[in-house]
Every structure is written in structure tokens, then in C-alpha cells.
Structure 1
Amino acid sequence: MSQRVTPRFAPVSKIRTRAAVLAAGLGVSAALGAGVAVAVGGPEAGTTATTVAAAKAVAPAKPVAAQKAAAPVEQKAAVAAAVKKAVAAPVAVKTVAAPAKKAATSWVHPVAHYTLSASFAQNGSHWAHKHSGQDFAVPVGTEVVAAHGGTVVKAGPNGAGDGPAYGNAIVIQHGDGTYSQYAHLSRVDVRVGQVVATGQHIALSGNTGNSTGPHLHFEIRTTPNYGSAVNPATFLAAKGLSL
């Protein structure tokens, strides 16, 4: 009678088989957990270089929105730098010279249109002494103006205090210490103490006082009174005004 012999090593084989299966399962799980061998496969799946490459491959990319946001920031920085440079740069300033002001006329003729008649220091029967001024032959009623700005110190009949020979007369004091006199007037249009400007209307010419015809008698004096007259033509020439 034959006996059935059971292999003594059978249990051992089963144990080894189970152990191999279990080890394989653990290896696969480890590989999947590391995210390495599954991505690349092949015999090099377990090497260090392959592991680093796989990790880079699965690394999250920079969000697109962040990339787009970076551009405007860089543009703003560039604009700010340009503005800063422009502000720091020296600004060329063009200096424009102001137009020169025309010098005010120092003196003017006492009448606009005239004919010169008796001159200064001229001899004649019409004067007790030599002529004390310059005569401008003009029609009665011709406008008479201040030869220079100043203050009226004499005005009225009887030569404004210098005697009847002058008729109606005016004397103006000027800032340079001189005086101008206007005589034989038909009308006086200013009063004592009034300030007048160069060329301002002061009277109308006439034929009053000791006069042989309509004219304006004009004097330049060093005082407001008769007897201090100087040559008007010479004085006005020194001021740049010829008769």
C-alpha cells in the first residue's frame, strides 16, 4: 500500500510567493507616492536624475495672471523713471528783453505852429530895456501849452504881478529850479497852485499889454520875477529842442 507523500517544502513556497507579491505592491505604492517612476518608466525610473526631472515636470507653473500683472508694473516703473529724469534735467529759460521805454519829451514848444519874431536881448522902441524873451507870432486864440511840467506860481492880468506891459500872463515853476513865462494872453485857463504836465493846455494867445500884434511872449527865468530871464533859444537847445 502506497503512502501519499506531501512535499515538506510546500508551505514554504506559498509563504515566499505571498511575500513577493506584498513586496511588489509596496514598491509600486512607494513609486506612485513619490511621483517618479510612473511618469518616466523604464529601467532608469529609480535613479536620482530621473527623480529630479520628474519633480520639475510636475512642478506647478507660474500663474498666467501673475505674468500679465508683472508687465504693467514694469511699465509704471519705467514711466516713473522717465518722469524723474525729465524733472531733474535743467530747463532752458529764454530771457526776453523788455522793450525799452521811450524817454518822455523833456520840453516842448509852447505853441505848435508859429513864426519867430522878436528874439532875446533884441533892441527896440517897444521895450524900456532889451527884449527879455522870445516872441512867437501866432493868431489870437492859438492854444498855449506848458513847455514843461510844473506848478503854476503866477496867473492873471497885469503880467501876473510883473507889470501891465505883459498883459495877461502865467509863470510856471519847474523841478529843475527854472521858471517859464507866457505873456500877452487873451485867456488864462489855469490857477495858482495848479500842477500841470508837459504839453498841457494852459491858455490862449492874444494881444494884451504892450504888444504891436498878436503873439506869445515866452521867457525862461531863474526866479518867478521879471529881470531874471535867460535866452530861451539857448536853454531849449540844451534840452534838445530847437526853435
Structure 2
Amino acid sequence: MSKRVSFQHSRRPSLSRVRGAVVAAGLGTSMVLGAGAAFAAGTAGAPHTASLISNGTADSVAAQAAAQGKAAKAAKAERAAAEKAAAKKTAAWRIPVAHYALSASFGNDGSRWAHKHSGQDFAVPVGTKVEAAHGGTVVKAGPNGGGDGPAYGNAVVIRHGNGTYSQYAHLSKIDVRIGQTVKAGQKIALSGNTGNSSGPHLHFEIRTTPNYGSAINPVSFLYKQGVTV
């Protein structure tokens, strides 16, 4: 009898331990399975979320790049337009003096000329700045009309790229030399009253050669270039 009791007491702790182990194992399995399910659920949703974030970022970057490219293109076009306008302004023909009064015109008869008047006179005070009417190269500069005769006094002739020449006469001072390149609007001389002149003025010609006798109407020529005298 005592042996049976002893046997029963010896088995109860074993069964209890077995049940505890089973329960613990079950709980552990449930916890592991639960965590795994949660992880699996999170993993299943992650690619979709990452894709949305990735696509959103890519779209934003692309839109920003497109906007920057458009702005850069517009800025480049604006710079090109400004440079073109500046170049056109620099290259344009212009009247060689400011604040003038028109006096003798092209083709006029008069006792001061052996033939009809070969240019346009601009009445201005002595010392008025004389500017190049267009860009080109100085081919004559000096007294005696730069070689065209004493009637012109001190004179300058400029050759232009379009096959024409401009002449400036009766100057009090010459500020350029033969062979010098000048731009439209650049100061080349000061007006005066030298040579065959009845009063201070600038005598201005447009020629088809550098020499006397090839003058054309300068006012009509300038008008065709968009300049009104």
C-alpha cells in the first residue's frame, strides 16, 4: 500500500510538468505564430507603400527638373534676345550729331560749291561731338579733306561693311586715325568751321567709294536704314 501511494505521488508531478510544458509550448507557438502573422501582414503591405512613396518622389523630382529646364530655356532665350537687340542697336545706323538744325541739303545749288551740294549739313556749335554713323574702318583722316581737297577742311572717311562710306567734314579736331576700327556711335571728332565753310556745322556724306564725286543722298539713305533726320 505504501508503495502504491509512493508511486502515485511520484507520477503526479510528472503529469503536471507535462501539462505545463504542453501549455507553455502552445502559448509559445501562438505567440510565435501571431508575431509571424503580424510580420507577414506588415511585409505584405510594405512593397505597396514603398512603391507609392517611390513613385511620388520620382514624380516630384521629374516635375521639378522639368520646371527648372523650362526656366533655364526661357532665361537662355531672354539672354539671346537681349544680346541680339544690343548687337542690332550697336550695328544700327544713326545721325552723327545731336541737337542740330538742318542747313544745306543734298543737291542744293550755291556759291559755296563748285557743283551741287554733295551732302547734308548739320548746323551745330564748334566742338560738338561727332559720332560714327555706322561701324567700320577709318580710311581717311586729316586736313585738306583727308585728301579730298581743301574745301572740306579737316575730314574723316569711314568704310562700312555694306560697301558704303561715310564722310565727316569741317571738323575742328580729329580723334581717329587711318586703319582704326570704330563702332556706331563712337566719338570720332569735334565739329568745326574749317575749310570752305560759312559757319560752324558738320558736313556729312554717304558715298559709294571713299573719294569725292561718289556721294548719294544721305538723308534718303539713312531713311532706308530706319533713321529719320
Q: TM-score range by the shorter chain?
A: 0.7 to 0.9
RCO greater where, 1 or 2, for CA within 8 Å and sep 6 or more? 2
Give the structure 1 partner of residue 224 of structure 2: 238
Are 1:107 and 2:77 counterparts?
Answer: no
Q: Percent identity?
A: 58
Distance in 1, matches of 2:28 and 2:218, equals 114
Q: What residue number does 2:15 align with?
A: 31
Structure 1 segments unaligned to the other structure (5+ residues): 1-16, 40-50
Q: Which entry has the higher C-alpha Rg, 1 or 2?
A: 1
1:36-83 residue CA offsets vs partner (Å, 9 max, x unmatched): 1xx6xxxxxxxxxxx855642477967xxx9xxx9xx99x99996665
Please give the residue correspondences for 1:1-243 in structure 2 after superposition, counting only pairs within 5 Å. Answer: 17-34=1-18, 36=19, 53=23, 55-57=25-27, 84-89=54-59, 90-92=62-64, 93-94=66-67, 95-96=70-71, 97-98=74-75, 99=78, 100-101=81-82, 102=85, 103-105=88-90, 106-243=92-229
Describe the shift of the 1:215–1:58 C-alpha distance in structure 2 as closer, same or farther (beyond 3 A). Answer: closer
Q: Specify the SS of the correspondent of 2:89.
A: coil
Query: Structure 1 residue 120: deviation in Å?
Result: 0.8
- Number of residue pairs the alignment of both structures matches: 205
Q: Which amino acid is 2:12 matched to? A: V
Deviation for aligned residue 1:209: 1.1
The unaligned stretches of length 5 or more in structure 2 are none
Q: Which digits, 9 at most, give the CA deviation of each residue in 1:150-170, with x for residues without a partner?
A: 111100001101111111100
Distance 2:28 2:107 in 1: 124
Instruction: Give the Cα separation in 1 of the matches to 2:177 and 2:24.
Output: 116
1:120-166 C-alpha deviation (Å, 9 max, x unpaired): 11122221111111011111111111111111110000110111111
Which secondary structure state, in structure 1, belongs to the residue aligned with residue 162 of structure 2?
A: coil
> What is the TM-score of this pair, normalised by structure 1?
0.73
Structure 1 residues 71-130: Cα deviation after superposition (integer angstroms, max 9, x where no partner): xx99x9999666533432131433243334234150121110111111111122221111
TM-score by length of 2: 0.77
One-letter code aligned to 1:238: K
Query: What residue in structure 2 maps to residue 13 of structure 1?
Result: none
**Change in CA separation of 1:182 and 1:33 when aligned onto 2, cut-off 3 Å:** same
CA distance in 2, matches of 1:57, 1:187: 113
- Which amino acid in 2 is paired with 1:237? Y
| C-alpha separation in 2, matches of 1:127 and 1:217 | 12
Provide the rounded CA distance (Å) in 2 between the counterparts of 1:190 and 1:134: 22
More helix by share: 2
